[in-house]
């Protein structure tokens, strides 16, 4: 299982949880695990084409998956997947 860290703007869709455990062998599967447990997160993470929305940054541990293998990036037990949208509050 990997730990998915949920940003504040998505916590309404995860029942307020800041972290969710999800299974999967790669980042895409882990995020699909999240969206099947919390379906309201789906449209905010994925576009109609099934790709990650461009405005959502996803990190495996501390590295942006865009510089790894994207949704195909392998995930091991105990890894952390961070979902990070831009914030503009000042």
Partner 1 sequence: MATGAQTKQQVEEIEPFEAAQEIEGGDVVLIDTREPHEYQEAHLEGGKLVPPGLLGDEIATAAPDKSARTILYCRSGNRSYKAAEQLRALGYEDVASMAGGILAWQEQGLPVVAATGLTPEQRDRYSRHTLLPEVGVDGQLKMLNAKVLLVGAGGLGAPTALYLAAAGIGTLGLVDDDVVDASNLQRQVIHNTERIGVPKTESARLTIEALNPDVEVVEHRIRLDASNIVEILGEYDVIVDGADNFPTRYLLNDASVRLRKPVVSASILSFDGQISTFVPFEGPCYRCLYPTPPPAELAPSCSANGVLGVMAGTMGLLQANEVLKLVLGIGEPLIGRLLLFEALSTRFTELKVRRDPNCPICGPDAPEIADEDLGKFPDYELFCAG
CB of 29 to partner 1, least distance (A): 21
Contact between 55 and 47 (Cβ < 8 Å)? no
Residue 65: burial class (beta carbons within 10 Å; 0-12, 13-18, 19+): buried
Minimum Å gap between C-beta 4 and partner 1 is: 13
3-state class percentages of the chain: helix first, strand second, coil last, to nearest 5: 35, 30, 40
Binding segment for partner 1 (CB under 8 A), chosen from 25-33, 54-62, 71-79, is: 54-62
Instruction: Kindly state whether residue 63 participates in binding partner 1, applying the rule CB under 8 A.
Output: yes
To partner 1, the closest distance from the beta carbon of 83 in angstroms equals 11
Which of 29, 42, 64, 79 binds partner 1 (CB under 8 A)? It is 64
């Amino acid at each position: 299982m990997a730990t998915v860290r949920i940003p504040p703007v998505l916590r309404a869709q995860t029942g307020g949880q800041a972290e969710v455990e999800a299974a999967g062998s790669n980042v895409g599967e882990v995020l699909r695990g999240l969206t099947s447990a919390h379906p309201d997160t789906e449209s905010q993470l994925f576009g109609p084409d099934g790709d990650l929305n461009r405005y959502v940054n996803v990190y495996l541990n501390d590295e942006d998956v865009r510089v790894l293998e994207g949704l195909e990036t392998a995930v091991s037990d105990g890894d952390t997947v961070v979902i990070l949208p831009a914030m503009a509050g000042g």
